[in-house]
Amino acid sequence: MTHQVLPTSRPALVADRTSRGRRQPLGGYRALKSLSKVLTYTVLTALSAISVFPLLFTLSNALKSNDQMYVMPPVWIPNPLMIEHTVTAWNALPFTLYTFNTLVITILSMAGHLLSGSLVAFGFSRLRGPGRDKLFALLLATMMLPGQVTIIPDYIMMKYLGWLDTFLPLIVPSFFGGGAFFIFLLRQFMLGISTELDDAARIDGCSSWRIYWSIVLPLIKPALGAVAIFAFVGNWNDFFYPLIFLNQQSKFTIALGLRLYQLQVFHTSFRTHSVQGLLGLSLVVLLPVVIVFFFAQKQFIQGITFTGLKG
């Protein structure tokens, strides 16, 4: 198997090396090559296992019965497979409501990021005016700013606006260019698109707004996809901001609900709580992200590569 993988375009090079006095016989070189191939695949397989095992381990433990949890050596495939713990856990706290809350926040915030992000990026990449480059430098600077620096004044402001314990602090900033990173990503993408179409449209009397809406937006669909996905995953997983802005349990997001369940799980007074349930819930919370990832893997990889290489 490994011999077939050998690069076929190399014989000239091999001959070159041996003729230069390295007394290595051709067979030895080949053996070395295939050995390194074997090694490569071994390491890659081991790393794949490390990547995946924590997930399988969690899944396996979520489905175990109480007596199988601590059995040594561990049982990998539980018998019986018990989904009951997870179902009970889901109903022990209003997780359906938490999911609904999270979806409302996630979808509205995503819409905000897409609309305002693309419009601002359009301004930064397609229109010219005084002070544009300085403002862009400001945008880059805010990208580096850790949220903790402004979180306390933000909190105080939200308190005076009466927005605490509502979804507004988690949604409204995204409509005002909240994610500097997204603006940056979209702007870079727009810069990579030729302006010929814009110019033609302008000559035909098209306004900037129509160019934005009918020409540029359709062309940057891949980047919009990446932003949508990053915004979705970011909001879905977010813990810090909901923790600070939301208080009442009826307003909780799914991440806060999971944390609440975790706090209660080791108290014996909660009969409905179990470690299996906790693990099962955490997998349920991750499930939408897994689904999004498998459907939009290309955008994920492209988005990351794009910001990493062109940044």
Partner 1 sequence: MAAISNETRQRTGKTSVLARREAIEMYICLAPWLIGVVVFTLGPMLASVVLSFMDWKLLKPPVWVGLDNFVSIFTSDPLFTKALVNTAYYTGFSVPLQLITAFLVAMLLNTRVRGLAIYRTIFYIPSVFSGVAVAIMWIWILHPNAGLLNQGLGILGIQGPNWLGNPQWAMPAMIIMSLWGGIGSPMVILLAGLQGVPQHLYEAAEVDGANGWHKLRHITLPMMSPVIFFSLVVGIVGSFQVFGASYILTGGGPNYATYTMVLKIYQNGFTQFRMGYATAQAWILFLILVTFTYLQFRLSRRWVYYETETVGKR
One of 155, 163, 213, 270 touching partner 1 (CB under 8 A): 155
String of b and e for 156-167 (b: at least 16 CB within 10 Å)?
A: eebeeeebbebb
122 in contact with partner 1 (CB under 8 A): yes
* CA proximity to 181, closest of 133, 226, 217, 243: 226
Provide the H-helix boundaries in the chain: 2-5, 11-19, 26-62, 84-92, 95-126, 132-144, 148-161, 168-175, 180-191, 196-203, 208-210, 217-219, 221-237, 240-245, 254-265, 275-295, 297-310
By CB atoms closer than 10 A (0-12, 13-18, 19+), residue 248 is: exposed
One of 178, 220, 228, 274 touching partner 1 (CB under 8 A): 178
86/96 Cα distance (integer angstroms): 13
296/229 Cα distance (integer angstroms): 8
Q: How far is the CB of 91 from partner 1 (least distance, A)?
A: 18
Interface with partner 1 in residues 267-296 (CB under 8 A): 275, 278-279, 281-283, 285-286, 289-290, 293
Interface with partner 1 in residues 184-223 (CB under 8 A): 195, 198-199, 202, 208, 212
108 in contact with partner 1 (CB under 8 A): no
Q: How many chain residues interact with partner 1 (CB under 8 A)? A: 95
One of 15, 26, 35, 52 touching partner 1 (CB under 8 A): 52
Considering the complex, state which of residue 73 and residue 162 has its C-beta at the smaller distance from partner 1. Answer: 73
One of 53, 80, 87, 295 touching partner 1 (CB under 8 A): 53
One of 156, 221, 249, 250 touching partner 1 (CB under 8 A): 156
185/251 Cα distance (integer angstroms): 32
Read off the tokens for 144.
Answer: 């580096």
> Helices 275-295 & 26-62, crossing angle to 10 degrees?
130
Which residues are CB-neighbours of 210 under 8 A, at least 6 positions away?
A: 201
78 in contact with partner 1 (CB under 8 A): no
246 in contact with partner 1 (CB under 8 A): no
One of 29, 30, 34, 58 touching partner 1 (CB under 8 A): 58
Of the candidate spans 54-62, 88-96, 99-107, 217-225, the one that interacts with partner 1 by CB under 8 A turns out to be 54-62
94 in contact with partner 1 (CB under 8 A): no
One of 15, 35, 38, 43 touching partner 1 (CB under 8 A): 43
Considering the complex, state which of residue 53 and residue 100 has its C-beta at the smaller distance from partner 1. Answer: 53
26 in contact with partner 1 (CB under 8 A): no
Of the candidate spans 80-88, 101-109, 139-147, 220-228, the one that interacts with partner 1 by CB under 8 A turns out to be 139-147
